[in-house]
Structure 1
Amino acid sequence: MELSTKVAVVTGSGQGLGLAYAKELARRGVAVVINDVDQATADTAVAEIVESGGRAIAVVAPVGSAETAERLVAAAVEEFGRLDVLVTNAGILRDKVLWKMTDEDFDAVIDVHLRGTFTCVRRAVQRFREQGEGGRIICVGSPAGQRGNFGQTNYSAAKAGIVGMVRTWAMELKRAGITVNAVCPVAATAMTETIPFLAPHVESMKRGEPLPAVIRRDVGMGTPEDAAGVVAFLASEAAAEITGQAISVGGDRLALWSHPQLTTTAFHDGGWSADDIATEWAATFDHAVESVGEEFPEEVRAR
């Protein structure tokens, strides 16, 4: 899995999952552009990578605008000569139930997660096409975007939108040799601390205590480092034929999310009136109605 000639931009990589991705890429020889909104955090991340023998620089800017996307790609090219990998990890939370969520709460999350992914991928793809050697796009999604999550209208919408864009881009960029995939990690971070029944496990991990098997396997949650291997894999030639996928990773679990598809179908000559649907629903569709939200083992929820 040779990556020592590669150059990557990892957004939101000053800490947490983004830093874990950046450090794993750097460990494998990738030159990395670190991105964060805080100068001290970004500088610390760069220092950790450099002190470990890696190559890294920092761009301090909020993700969302086309200007930031341009700065990130330009920094990679100016410092390291090219760009091969983009990991769009930057994100924020503004969790509230629907009736309390403000326009500002909604717009802030959509701007960083969804618009930021769009602007950064667009600029990276332009550079990849100029280089003519393909490239790797790795977008960070979430189980919340696949199944929804209480209090996360904005976040769930953004993460669902990211996977939708990934599937579209995989088709559009195939001929250029550019792969596009989504990684949906579950890790003990500041973000998962906001989920009440997971918070105690995050605190346990901070104290150096190992996460129990039910968390690492059944919930699929681990450390940020547990989620980093799949990013390095997708950046490598070993994943050259993998595109358009949503990959779940966390703890001891690696899995593929299915693409939405029709599960139950009925036909009615001349179309469906409301009365027809009411008659058919119980017999044909009731048993196939999908659940919402993540489903966790009872022993986890009971803690």
Structure 2
Amino acid sequence: MSLDGKVAIVTGAGRGLGLAYAQELARRGASVVVNDVDAEATADAVAALESSGGRAVAVVAPVGPTETAKELVSTAVEHFGRLDILVTNAGFLRDTVLWKMSDDDFDTVINVHLRGTFTTVREAVQHMRQAGEGGRIICVGSPTGQRGNFGQTNYAAAKAGIVGMVRTWALELKRAGITANAVVPVAATAMTATVPYFAAAVRAEANGEPMPAFFRHDLGFGTADDVAGLVAFLGSDAAASVTGQVIGVGGDRLQIWTHPEAALTAHRDGGWTYDALVDAWPTTFAGAAQSVGERFPKLPEEFEPPTS
């Protein structure tokens, strides 16, 4: 099933995962609006898509402001006549522990990831609803937004918020035939290149070598191209019934994340007072307490980063 005749916007598409998404969408027949803040990277991305036979146009602007969202949608319509697919991928990191995180560290990450997703999706669905032909909203989450990660208060908040919005949009947009899903990629990117745990996998990709099976299969960690197929699928007519889902993908693994559900329910006549909780917590509730943070298997010895 091709994407011939479809038109897509991909934010943060100058390099990395966003570029891989744009390339796969174009390969499947979609015309693509390529967005990034880096003018040179954006121009290179458009040239790469066109040299492979695709149709593409650039919008160099930061996501977050409503003006950028309007420019992205108007560019799609003016150049290609319609808008069918939006992939909100743009983002970056400003990692530090809570007590050292500045207002600017927090606000900047929230503005790009969370507000940028909100404003761009809002503008896109206004057009899609008016056009009356449905559409596909594909937002990018993160394992950090699902489970938390040390030093990433701002990023965790943004990515968890994106998933919450996607679940809400799936309800609000159903009647209009517009799906909304979140993709949780696990791949070698600039964001993972500095993590020692992934060093052997990142090094293999950089050298053009096959990524070790431990990373691809056991860990579900792969290349940007491993994620792109899911993005193209969610943008296609084949995924018309898929909405409100959070789907993790990396290497050889694909996962559908559960939506939060109560792990334990208990009732007490008169309610749960302080004294009742002191008595009952160790025996009734403690066993259902949930873990936090990502859980990685032990690295095989051959992939252990060298110690200094």
**TM-score, with normalisation over the residues of structure 2?**
0.96
- Give ranges in structure 1 of 5+ residues lacking alignment: none
On the 8 A contact 1:197/1:300 being kept in 2, the answer is no
1-side partners of 2:215 and 2:300: how far apart? 8
SS at match of 1:290: coil
Identity %: 66
Per the alignment, residue 272 of structure 2 pairs with 272
Per the TM alignment, residue 196 of structure 1 is displaced from its structure 2 partner at its CA by 2.8
Q: Distance in 1 between matches of 2:214 and 2:182?
A: 25
Counterpart of 1:39?
39
Please give the per-residue CA displacement for 1:211-264, whole angstroms capped at 9, x wherever unaligned.
Answer: 222211221110000000001100111100110000000000001000000011
Q: SS of the counterpart of 1:59?
A: strand
Residue 103 of structure 1: aligned partner: 103
> How far 1:300 moved relative to its partner?
5.8
The 8 Å contact of residues 197 and 299 in structure 2, kept in 1 or not, is answered as no
Counterpart amino acid of residue 262 in structure 2: L
Partner of 2:212: 212
Structure 2 unaligned regions, length at least 5: none
Residue equivalent to 1:86: 86
Q: Per-residue deviation at 1:267? A: 0.9
Q: C-alpha offsets along residues 141-173 of structure 1, whole Å, 9 cap, x if unaligned?
A: 001000001111000100000000000000000
The alignment partner of 2:299 has SS state of helix
Return the offset for 1:283.
Answer: 1.3
**Secondary structure in structure 1 of the residue aligned to 2:196:** coil
Provide the C-alpha distance between the structure 2 equivalents of 1:8 and 1:237, rounded to a whole number of angstroms.
14
Q: Aligned-residue CA RMSD in angstroms?
A: 1.2
Tell me if structure 1 keeps the 8 A contact 2:135–2:177: yes
Relative to the length of structure 1, the TM-score reads 0.98
The number of equivalent residue pairs is 303
CA distance in 1, matches of 2:185, 2:284: 35
Structure 1: distance between partners of 2:6 and 2:105: 37
Distance in structure 1 (CA, Å) of the matches to 2:103 and 2:216: 36
Name the amino acid aligned to 2:119: T
Report the more deviating stretch, 291-300 or 36-45.
Answer: 291-300
Alignment of 1:190-229 (within 5 A): 190-229=190-229
C-alpha displacement of 1:139: 0.3
Judge conservation of contact 1:136–1:234 (CA < 8 Å) in 2.
yes
Specify the alignment match of 1:150 in structure 2.
Answer: 150
Q: How far did residue 100 of structure 1 move?
A: 1.0
In the alignment, which residue of structure 2 is the partner of 1:20? 20
How far apart are residue 299 of structure 1 and its match? 2.1
Cα gap change, 1:154 to 1:194, in 2 (>3 Å): farther
- Provide the C-alpha distance between the structure 1 equivalents of 2:113 and 2:273, rounded to a whole number of angstroms: 40
Q: CA deviation at 1:200?
A: 3.8
Query: Are the aligned partners of 1:221 and 1:251 in contact in 2 as well (CA < 8 Å)?
Result: yes
Listed one character per residue, the Cα deviations across residues 168-201 of structure 1 (whole Å, up to 9, x for unaligned) are: 0000000000000000001100001232312342
